[in-house]
Structure 1
Amino acid sequence: MVADICDENGWRLRGARSLAAESLQIHLTGIILPSLCQDDDVFHWVIDGDPMPHYSASRTWEGRATKQSTVSLLVQHSVWFKMATPRHAFLMWIAHNDRMPTRVRLSSWGLGTSTSCCLCDSALETRDHLFLGCEISEQIWKLVLRRLGYTHSAFMTWTSFIEWISLKDSTTPLILKKLVAHATIYNIWAERNKRMHQEISSTPPTIYKLIDHNIRDTILEKKKIKKSFKTLMLSWLRNV
């Protein structure tokens, strides 16, 4: 309950990590503490400015759907597709919305940490640099893209990366492209965390092998429930 996060001394909230969260906390300081109020708790649903007598899933969806652009729908299809690996898709969604706690973001929250990339230590650790522009990430992508049969070895921007995931081509099946992109982002982030928190590092070929294992395991698991996955392993192994 709301009353559980405040006491007679005020609100017990962690530091704000965004302007929206900061604005909310500023607003909360100007209202009566729920822990001191004797009235019963109530809730209000408001969709597109219209007060609702009760929660409506359909109205909520309609309110969100009308605000989505073609680009955002394209992103959703590239992230939340049916056969995606849940933990990979979740991290991919956070990365696309640029909500990963990179060192630059951690520094912006006032944590006083270094802003240098954990992988190369030669540039600011932003999302685009960490996953696409870092020399370590570029080496990983070079191995991955070559495995898929592509001649390019890197991506210049996050937008071009998302467009590549979303578009069908004759080089590799679209679903395999999505699975590999997700696994690559996931393993780059895992490597970053190992270096930052455990001071353990792996080489790009070693990380590439982890991605290979992820894809093989996913295909073997999914082919039991989806017939199209039976030929996906051949596509993944053809350029070994």
Structure 2
Amino acid sequence: MGWLSALLGNLAYHLDDVSGARVHLDLDTAATYGARTGDRNLEAWAWGAQSMVARTSCRIDTAVEHAERGASAAPSGRVCAQLHAWALLPALAASGRNDDADRALTTALTELEAAGEPEAPGRFGFDAAELALHQAEAYLALGRSVDARSRAESSLAECTGGTPGWAAASLVLAQAEAAHTPQDAALRAHHVLDHVPAARLRSTARARLSHLAEALPDHDGAVRADLAERLGTLPAPIDAHGQALTS
């Protein structure tokens, strides 16, 4: 039941239903079931997901607290690496804590190397592409665009075209390119929109597209306006009743 609740919370989050995500993740559900049953993987993942939701809602202090709780619950190895890279690293970066973010990344890399475990892609898994993606976004938050671009390129190289991971890596790379090569960044965004149907665009991809449109420099107004216009035509993923608005 705990893992089902975690899955439903994750689904709600990616459909931009933040209140639904918080119900399944926050309110006596996934994390609590993990703690009650001694499933540390579930408990850690649920706290990490709560941190992700809080960060999206700009509750950064809460995001750090949830991430720290998840990291402390995580068993050593891949799960510990995941909580440090997916939850703690971006939360600390969002709060501008550069040194602490670097330490979280170092812990993630050390845990992965020491564990020697095979990668586990998937909804509750963690692999090289995801690690590089979280690094890239943290570097963006910390203003380290060169590092962000390098790690986003590494993430993209590990992804299969057209997948959510591919879209995420492409859009983070575009954000890293925005200041210096805005036309390349906009073309990358249009490429994602050409290859991922609107019904399959996750809320995270939509957010990255919006951030990219805002990051494109004003002096290249036509490029920025073209992307903003296209984003304005995207239908919402769900209506107020949770029903899909696209087929």
Which structure carries more strand by proportion?
A: 1
TM-score class normalised by the smaller sequence = under 0.3
- TM-score, normalization by structure 2: 0.24
- TM-score, normalization by structure 1: 0.25
Which structure carries more helix by proportion?
A: 2
Ranked by relative contact order (alpha carbons within 8 Å, sequence separation 6 or more), the top structure is 1
